[in-house]
Structures are given as C-alpha cells and as structure tokens.
A and B are shown apart, each in its own frame.
Chain A
Amino acid sequence: MHPWSLSNPWLRLLLRLPLALAMITSGILRTIPVQMPPLQGFDLVRRLGEHTQGELLWTFVGASPVFQSFTGLAALFGGVLLLFPRTALAGALISAANLAMAITLSVTYDLPFKLYLSCLFALALLLIAPDLRRLADLILLGRAVEPVPEPPAGRPERIVLLVGLLAIAVSVAVAAARYRQLHPPEPPLYGVWTVEELTVDGEKSTDPRRWRWAVFQDPGALDVELWIGARKRYPLELDMERKTMRLGRQGELSFAEPEPYALVLDGRLDGRRVHAKLSRIGLQTPWFHWIVEPEWTLYD
C-alpha cells in the first residue's frame, strides 16, 4: 500500500485522532449543557431585534438545555465511534453530518468558526473517501459489501483509545465545573417577573419611572427595570417566614404567592403605598404541552 493512500491505517489514525478529540470535547460541552449558557436575568427582557443572528442562535439553544444535550450527544457519538478502527467509518459519517450542519449554521448565522469547522469537515471526508464505493454498494445499489482487512490492534490503537478516554475525562470535569458555575443555588423567588399591575397610593400608576420587570437573581439584591428603560438595584433582605422583604431604607413590602408563578407585593416603597401583581416571565415557566387545539394561534 502506498504510504499516502487514504486506506493506510497510520494515515487514518492521524486523521481520526484530532477529529475524534474535537467531536468528543465539543460534544461533552453540550451534552452537559454549558456551551450555550441558560437565559438569566435581563437576558430574558432583551428584544429579539437587539441580538445579532449569532447571539439569537445561542439564546435559542440556551433556552432548552435538553435540546442542547441532544446536539451534544450526536457529536459525542460520532467522536466515540472514531476511536475504534472498526467503527471509524460510522464515526466519520456521523461527524460529517454534524459538521455540515455546524458549518451551515456558522455561515448563515455569521458565526466565527467557519475555517476551523471546515478543516474538521475535511478530515471527516478524507476518512470517508476510501469507502465511497462500498457505501454506494450498501446504500444506493443494494449490492453485497465485503468486509475490509482490519489493522492489527497494536499499541498505536491503544494510545488513541487512551487519549480519547483522557479527553472524555477532562471534558466532563471542565463541563461539570462550568455547569456548577452557571447554576449557582437559586435564591427564593428566583427569576424574572413582569409587573402586571401596579397601584401607588390606591391609583393605577402611569409614571414612566414605575417598575416594569423585577429580577431576583443575586442573593441580597433586587434588580428592577423601569418603564423608561433605566435599571435600579435595591439591597434585599428576604424574610421567608414572615413573608416580607426589606429594600434597604427605600421600602418594606410583604409578599404572597397566591398561585404558582404569581407574586403579589404590598407595602411601602419610596414613601408611598404600593400594591403590585407580578408574574414569572413565560420562558421561565414550564412549557411542554402534549395537547394543543388547532385554533391555538401559531407563532405570534
């Protein structure tokens, strides 16, 4: 066999290893969903149009950790199959499909990974190339396909496997640490709340400086966005037993949760009597529905 033949097991090994490592590491960083961070705080009140295309893609995947895990599993599966010479072709095919999607996304959403992904895609194609005839016989022509001679399972293959396992271990450790960092313990009342109703001194408020959204995220702080667009941070002391919150010297409110994802505040704020009804923002409430009637308005 010519040393530069694409069927040369040594050359294949050199192509397989970097591709496998790339697929495994990126796969694990999505299987444990940390590549696209979850949406938090004021991210949730950002306008759609304020995102660039790439940011919107990130936001979209970040919104569903389960979906992110599936995309990670697809990449990881391809990478793991590449570690074994017998399943390398399957791994290269799965990796090529994943990478074709990734390249298309980075071109059509203007993401900066085009060249890197194209190099990986080229590695996958080089691994597939020697088997194109067999694949055509298998998939298109329905003919018999003979097995190919396998390289002896020597030391180099053991090294590939070892490096692969090491990559898995390191990626899992990195992803797990990042996951913990992205998901600190949630303080009580955690989330972004839309202020649905607000009365000040008994009257419905129309003040442009009234609250629009309230964010409970960092312990000890309540972040608020006003209708006029400015943001304000109050120091927060929550008393979960007496159901009261103290906002520094600026206010003292009692709170009630009459139903899930609803919050009613009552008390004194900036020297005035306020009553407010808040509801948790839609994307932070459970959203799965099996039954949906057809008159349900789509996609508005």
Chain B
Amino acid sequence: MTEPRARWSPATRIAFRFAFAYFFLGFVPMILNWLPFSDLLLEKYNDFWDAVVVWFYDDVLRLPHEIDFPGLGVTNSTYGSILFLGYLAVAVAATAIWSILDKKRESYERLHAWLRFLLRYSLAFLMILYGTMKVIPAQMTAPPPLRVLLARTGDLPPNSLLWWTVGASPPFETFTGLAELLGGVLLLLPRTTLLGALISAGNMLLVFLLNMCYDVPVKLPSLHMLVKALILIAPDMRRIANVLLFNRRAEPSRIPPLFKNKWINLIPHAYLLVMGLYAVHGGFNRASTQYELFHPPRPPLYGAWTVESFARDGREVPPFAEPDRWRLVLIEKPGALSVEMAGSMKSYQLELDTARKTMKLSPIQATFSFAQPEKDVIVLDGRLEGRRVRAKLRKMPLIRRTT
C-alpha cells in the first residue's frame, strides 16, 4: 500500500481496543462456528462463562435461588446481565493490558477492518431476522387475537400495550419490518454499509427507546444492536458532521480492506452477501410459518361484536339493566360462539348455516336467523331460551379495517 498509515489519537486507540475486546467476547461462538472441529472448544468457552456467572451469582451476590441458564448470551435475564458485567470486566482488563503492551502502535487498520466485518455480519443477521418477522406481520400478531380486544387498557403490561398497538395495524408492522430489512440488507455490501448502518441505527434507536419506555425485556440486546451500528458509522462521523453541520470539505472515506490481495479480499465479502441473502430467505420462511400458526382459517362472521341493541319480546333491554343482557359476541373458531354478559363469559356450540342464514346455539335453546345489512353489522332475530330476541351487533372498532 502506498497510502500513509493513519495515525489515530490515543483516545481512539483505547476506544478501539475496548470495543474490539468487548465485542470479540460475544463473537467467539460465531467465529468458532466457521472453523472446523471447534465444537469442543465452543463447549469449553461456554462452560467457562457459565462457571464465571455461577460463581458471581453464588459467592458474590449470594442469592438464594438457583440461577437459570437461558444460554442466549447477553440478555436482560439474571444470567445475561451477569454475563454482561463479566464481558465488561474482561474487556476493561484486556484494554488496559493491551494499551500498556502496545503503546507505540499508531493505528489498527487491519484489525478495524475485521471488527467491521464481524459487526456487519452479526448486525445484518439480526436486522434481517427482525425485519422479515415484521414484513410478514408475525412478530406482533396482527391483527391481535380477539381475546386481546376484551382486555382493559390499564390492565395490560406496557409492553403488551406496545405489542398490540403495533398489531392493530398490520400494514404499519410491515412498514417497520421493511425499514429494518433494508438496513440489514444494505449492511451486506461494503459500499452500502454506511447507509445500512445509518438506517439500522435509526431503527434501533427507536426500538431501544421503546424497550426502555414500555418495559420490553430485550433492553440490552437492542442497545447492543444500536452500538454496533454506531461503531460502523464512527469512521465516517467526521465526514458526515463536516458536510451536514459545518459545511466543510469531507475527505474521501478510508476503509482499509480485510486482505491486501484484492481477490482474496472478495471471499469474506461474498460469503457475507451469500449468507445474508440466505438469511433473508430463511427469515421469510420462518415468519410465514409463524404467521400461519397465528392465523388459522377464519370462520364466517369472525370477529368481536358489540351488542348495540338487544330486545326481548319486543322490549329493548338497555345495556346495564339486566345481568343476562348480551354485551359482546365473539366468533373466533368454527363451531363456537361466546357471549359476554355482566362480567361473565359463556361459550356455546354454534351450528351456522350460511346458505339459509340461520344459526343454532347449544346447549342453550337458541335459534336465530341472521342478516348482515353492512359489513360491520349483524342482525340476529329468533328465540333465546323460549323468548323472542332481536339483537343488533356491530364489529368492535379496532378490527373494522383489518378483518
């Protein structure tokens, strides 16, 4: 290379050493997966961290219960949080030792290139996984199942409120998925990495804030994704600030290659691209399986219906007058119908004849003819336990546009 070596400031060098050490600890399983015959090594590595976490849990925190082993790396479980502290401690120690031993070094360009590669690899996979799950609206079941519509707003944990608000609009979930997927796919190519990292950082900032504000239990994982994106942006940060904030000249971007030989250099990049596109394919497959699981075929008259008017023997029964006045009718699965009355829910077998427009409920004695004067309205007319009943049902507002 003819270009002069870059000179990094001491702070940059220390920050790089820390970032490399910290993220490398998390990347070890991923790297070992690429190497042949590494199963035993991987097992030993995981055992080591398990032992560290158990030691910290039993002997330092002295907590009474046994610890769970979710085995998912750094998460917001007890295990994951202790592991997080462990990684931090090791990374700080490694940074200190490395900084002392390697004082004269001016920059880590080649190592930086490899760190970027690993960050792109792991971040792209996660963005693609979450993106595909939302493009096919399968992460937040959309639209929400009917039982959710009956819940009282204040009884919902805040993360459920977030979940079902997104679920209430399948097209919105698809849109957020497209934004995540776009970020992930752009990370697969060296040239579009910066754009992909910017889009991913925007997405993950929003996700992290949502997780913090609505108590979604993946705060640490989403923070990691945000930080990975920011590290990928960091080398171009000055250029971006020069153009967007100071109206100064931005120098050309300088991202060193992984290998000096440009043909060998192509291999890891091509590998990342192929694996990434394969992940898109796998993500869509998984998402559509999950979507079908949550969306069994719907029976006719599917929905949660509010009983707007209810007349017995020709006399209207106001909503709060009698405990056995129907309030809500739910039709979720074929052959079943549930009715909510004052505080109680009763389920009946349903025989529906869509050709003759009649329905029969059992074990109670109920036969109705039904009409659907509008898409969102059902009118029932018939006999319920020996009395003439006429009821007008209207679909609950939240699902009017989506079912």
A42, chain B: closest CB distance, angstroms: 10
Q: Are A229 and B342 in touch, CB under 8 angstroms? A: yes
Residues from 60 to 100 in A contacting B, C-beta threshold 8 Å: 60, 63-64, 66-67, 70, 86-87, 89-90, 93, 97
* Cα A53 to Cα B157 with chains together (Å): 19
Q: Are B155 and A229 in touch, CB under 8 angstroms? A: no
Which residues from chain B contact A129 at a C-beta distance below 8 Å? none
* Cα A295 to Cα B131 with chains together (Å): 24
Which residues from chain A contact B397 at a C-beta distance below 8 Å? 49-53, 55
A80, chain B: closest CB distance, angstroms: 12
Which residues from chain A contact B253 at a C-beta distance below 8 Å? 142-143
Chain A residues touching B, range: 35 or more
Q: Answer yes or no: B154 CB below 8 A from chain A CBs.
A: yes
Mark A131-161 against chain B: 1 for CB-CB distance below 8 A, else 0. 0001000111111111110100000000000
Q: Which of the residues A52, A230, A283 comes within 8 Å of B158, measured between beta carbons?
A: A283
A293, chain B: closest CB distance, angstroms: 5
Stretch at the interface among A18-26, A104-112, A234-242, A260-268: A104-112
B116, chain A: closest CB distance, angstroms: 13
Residues from 316 to 365 in B contacting A, C-beta threshold 8 Å: 319-320, 323, 327, 342-343
* Cα A240 to Cα B280 with chains together (Å): 62
Q: Answer yes or no: B219 CB below 8 A from chain A CBs.
A: yes
Knowing A49-B398, A139-B198 are in contact, say whether A289-B168 is a contact too (CB < 8 A).
no
Knowing A108-B175, A294-B75, A300-B160 are in contact, say whether A53-B209 is a contact too (CB < 8 A).
no
Q: Answer yes or no: B192 CB below 8 A from chain A CBs.
A: yes
* Cα A289 to Cα B195 with chains together (Å): 33
Q: Answer yes or no: A212 CB below 8 A from chain B CBs.
A: yes
Knowing A282-B155, A291-B78 are in contact, say whether A53-B401 is a contact too (CB < 8 A).
yes
* Cα A25 to Cα B213 with chains together (Å): 23
Q: Which of the residues A57, A97, A143 comes within 8 Å of B165, measured between beta carbons?
A: A57
B378, chain A: closest CB distance, angstroms: 16
Q: Are A47 and B152 in touch, CB under 8 angstroms? A: yes
Q: Are A48 and B398 in touch, CB under 8 angstroms? A: yes
Q: Which of the residues B163, B194, B304 comes within 8 Å of A49, measured between beta carbons?
A: B304
Q: Answer yes or no: B399 CB below 8 A from chain A CBs.
A: yes
What 6 pairs across the A-B complex have the smallest Cβ distances? A49-B149, A44-B154, A142-B253, A292-B217, A49-B396, A108-B172
Q: Answer yes or no: A287 CB below 8 A from chain B CBs.
A: yes
Knowing A208-B343, A282-B157 are in contact, say whether A86-B247 is a contact too (CB < 8 A).
yes
* Cα A146 to Cα B242 with chains together (Å): 10
- Mark B residues whose CB is within 8 Å of A: 68, 70, 72, 75-78, 81, 140, 144, 146, 148-165, 168-169, 171-172, 175, 191-192, 194-195, 198, 202, 209-210, 212-215, 217, 219, 236, 239-240, 242-253, 255, 304, 306, 319-320, 323, 327, 342-343, 396-401
A-B contact pairs, 27 of them (CB 8 A): A44-B153, A48-B144, A48-B150, A50-B396, A53-B398, A59-B161, A59-B165, A60-B161, A63-B214, A87-B244, A93-B244, A105-B172, A138-B239, A142-B191, A142-B253, A145-B242, A145-B243, A147-B249, A150-B247, A229-B319, A281-B152, A290-B81, A291-B78, A291-B81, A293-B77, A293-B78, A299-B159
Q: Are A86 and B246 in touch, CB under 8 angstroms? A: yes
14 additional A-B pairs beyond A109-B168, A226-B320, beta carbons within 8 Å, are: A45-B154, A46-B153, A57-B168, A86-B247, A138-B236, A138-B243, A139-B240, A147-B248, A192-B154, A208-B342, A228-B342, A292-B217, A298-B159, A300-B160
Q: Are A143 and B172 in touch, CB under 8 angstroms? A: no
Q: Are B319 and A48 in touch, CB under 8 angstroms? A: no
Which residues from chain A contact B242 at a C-beta distance below 8 Å? 145
Q: Answer yes or no: A39 CB below 8 A from chain B CBs.
A: yes
Q: Are B76 and A290 in touch, CB under 8 angstroms? A: yes
Which residues from chain B contact A145 at a C-beta distance below 8 Å? 239, 242-243, 249-250
Q: Are B76 and A287 in touch, CB under 8 angstroms? A: no
Q: Are A67 and B342 in touch, CB under 8 angstroms? A: no
Q: Answer yes or no: A296 CB below 8 A from chain B CBs.
A: yes
B187, chain A: closest CB distance, angstroms: 13
Q: Which of the residues B77, B144, B153, B164 comes within 8 Å of A39, measured between beta carbons?
A: B153
Knowing A50-B396, A228-B320 are in contact, say whether A142-B252 is a contact too (CB < 8 A).
yes
Q: Are B401 and A44 in touch, CB under 8 angstroms? A: no
Q: Are A67 and B244 in touch, CB under 8 angstroms? A: no
A165, chain B: closest CB distance, angstroms: 20
Q: Are A86 and B398 in touch, CB under 8 angstroms? A: no
Q: Answer yes or no: A203 CB below 8 A from chain B CBs.
A: no
Q: Which of the residues A44, A53, A90 comes within 8 Å of B168, measured between beta carbons?
A: A53
Q: Are B169 and A53 in touch, CB under 8 angstroms? A: yes
Chain B: which residue is nearest A300 at the CB level?
A: B160
Which residues from chain B contact A63 at a C-beta distance below 8 Å? 158, 161, 214
Residues from 136 to 191 in A contacting B, C-beta threshold 8 Å: 138-148, 150
* Cα A56 to Cα B149 with chains together (Å): 11
Q: Are A212 and B343 in touch, CB under 8 angstroms? A: yes
Knowing A63-B161, A228-B320 are in contact, say whether A48-B153 is a contact too (CB < 8 A).
yes
B8, chain A: closest CB distance, angstroms: 19
Q: Are B163 and A299 in touch, CB under 8 angstroms? A: yes
Q: Are A281 and B155 in touch, CB under 8 angstroms? A: yes
Chain B: which residue is nearest A289 at the CB level?
A: B215
Q: Are A139 and B215 in touch, CB under 8 angstroms? A: no
B133, chain A: closest CB distance, angstroms: 14
Chain B: which residue is nearest A137 at the CB level?
A: B250
Q: Which of the residues B149, B165, B195, B209 comes within 8 Å of A70, measured between beta carbons?
A: B209
Knowing A67-B209, A294-B75 are in contact, say whether A108-B169 is a contact too (CB < 8 A).
yes
Knowing A87-B244, A229-B327 are in contact, say whether A47-B68 is a contact too (CB < 8 A).
no
Q: Which of the residues A70, A108, A134, A142 comes within 8 Å of B171, measured between beta carbons?
A: A108
